[in-house]
Amino acid sequence: MPADESIPRSQAIAALGLLAAPYLLNDFANIYVHAPVPWLACDYGSRVFSLVSIAWLLRRGMIRWPDLHLRGVAWWRLAVGTFAATLVGLLLTSDEARDAFARLTSRQFGFIPEIGPDWLHHVDYWGGIALVAVSEELVFRGAFPRIILRCGGSSGVALFVSTVMFGLAHWSLGLGSIVQTALIGLWFGITAQSSRSLWPVIIAHYVVDLVAFR
């Protein structure tokens, strides 16, 4: 399929399902897997699968490499976008915001286990969070919106759907977490659209998670 052709809606839905499924299914690990190594295997495996899925969609021509917005960006756009996305992300993950979002959650189905021993914790903290930032931004702010646009959706629809799916990807942690991550995803999506680059939100995502999981 030539990369500039529109995508039939059925193919677009299938592609979006392929990209979203690893994140929706991976949350079952928060419920049923409590040992750190198996949990990390599930978490990392789902993210690697999503990256392989993006590579497959690129090969099929359903998305193009420029659609992922990984090209260079003017330094001032990078600086402004990264600063704004990081600031909003930190505000929405602050202790006060966590308490407010926690009030929305009547039931939390699962949790992220404590990662140990220390060496594994450090590997996950520095490397695992980088994998999270790259994979989630490529999926929810890169491939997801572009597929929606190519099947006839507007930029507003693309932003809305990617925001909702990003929130639902954290369903096991309860309604508060869904709303919290959806709001972060909304701002990250606006930042990616305005800067036409994923680098500000990838960097912001990484920094915000480093602070949140410190």
pLDDT tens, N- to C-terminus, the chain (214 residues): 444 578 899 999 999 999 999 999 999 999 999 999 999 999 999 999 999 999 999 999 899 999 899 988 899 999 999 999 999 999 999 999 999 999 988 788 999 999 989 999 999 999 999 999 999 999 999 999 999 999 999 999 999 999 999 999 999 999 999 999 999 999 999 999 999 999 999 999 999 999 999 8
Query: How many Å apart are CA 32 and CA 182, to the nearest integer?
Result: 24
Tokens read off for 83: 């600063």
Q: At what angle do helices 75-92 and 175-195 cross, to 10 degrees?
A: 170
The full 3-state SS of 158-213, as one line of letters, equals HHHHHHHHHHHCCHHHCHHHHHHHHHHHHHHHHHHHHHCCCHHHHHHHHHHHHHHC
39: in domain? yes
**pLDDT at position 4, please?**
54
Contact 205, 89 (CB under 8 A): yes
2: in domain? no
3: in domain? no
The domain tally of the chain equals: 1
Query: How many Å apart are CA 91 and CA 47, to the nearest integer?
Result: 26
**pLDDT at position 3, please?**
44
Query: How many Å apart are CA 205 and CA 185, to the nearest integer?
Result: 10
37: in domain? yes
1: in domain? no
31: in domain? yes
The whole domain housing 90 covers 9-65+74-212
208: in domain? yes
